[in-house]
A and B are shown apart, each in its own frame.
Chain A
């Protein structure tokens, strides 16, 4: 699709250690359903529930893109939701990280060959971490989030 060309994956790394440390300690997440079957979405919400408790890592789920450090996208990007996804991504402050949850968000998986979506999230916006599975277990989602935190703190 070539849509990702407009965005650069090279981010300016924050210079001050304190901000980097603070961001890595409590990243805020925005969740966007770009055409998912709800399977990944409920697993994402389940990861907030008492059994898994995503918040113990300081991760908070927020309602506004302007507050978010991480964008968690589920589902193949449907044609209708594509412009919305791009808009949300643009509204997020730098540095921003994207995590693609589920097989659909990676490649479009079972919906491959459809006329109404443009495949995985990577076709629309750059993605940092992929979490595979249909749907991935809450543990896998938490693991993905921790990978993003690692990246935030300067790891690879």
Chain B
């Protein structure tokens, strides 16, 4: 396969920039619904994607036919697409220089999934699903998934990058549904890493199953929250979502160039001094691990906010050239047939000095946010994320759970209100995907954090 990728580099005209990427994504999924196997699937998706920059315009083409003739034709198609675009394009794209990267990078874990067959995966799903269904007679249903995408990439470009990367990013997602007297409520638990079978030791599925079933039962009698501005204490996976949704998207430089709320904020104070926010591909156990991006750029640790002051955006080579900085290695493509976009990796708050007891102490009323659902960013810095597991805080103690809560607010105001960050640092939101045009595995976290945000719910509940 290396020969075919090398062939693209060798055959590309000298006046063009080229990136060639072989990517096989082999994806296994097992799903069980209420004790019955619903899916056991393997999706093998492999091919070569070629991106060329000709006359200041990008052209992209891809092929799943892995022979010399098809690869040559695909390169011609990419060049033809770029030339057509160059004719109607007013602005010419230029790229920031990079140092080429070479080597093999691997993150498949201590006990890779390839050592285990699908039967073993099915038995774990089955056991978790059984625990949920037998937990209480009010449990009306369940759905349990294990997903394991396994990636093999060979990335080369005309600057001399030549790397081979292997990774596996498994996740487990459990849903319990409780029903009583015409009311029906679900609860979810999810966990994901970059790595192997050790995922099940880090977060035992049987514990997750018991917890999700118990929480669904509790939600049957949970009230909706008191709407309004409240003190909120965010556990690491919720901190991850806030880093990703509230700040991360606004500092993706394509969004900055369109005029997002982070435009013009470099060097300015945008958060409290407790906030140091980083996006990094370094942590090879976390779902956003990235050694080299899909444009062939080494993935760096990027400090976005340092002690409250905005330091950097997240860049492609194109945006780095525009802003006169070095590329940060944030260009990622989900599969071979799509071109790279600016995406986050592991996005987190650096740890602080507080214990969780100290963070909760003295809060008369607030919300303790444990497990997030989906989130969304906005150009005006108004973020939202929904909460799957959240409890009231009354006089410094954790109280009853509430349901149907979303946190929102202006990201910079919420970060300015941060007054405590915990020392219990972890990356903990690796089960899901970010969905900006294409999917991307990302992770995020930090230490438990205290701030103020707008809580949805009952009108006049503040």
- A and B part of one assembly: no
Which residues of B pack against A, CB within 8 Å? none
A contact residues vs B (CB 8 Å cutoff): none
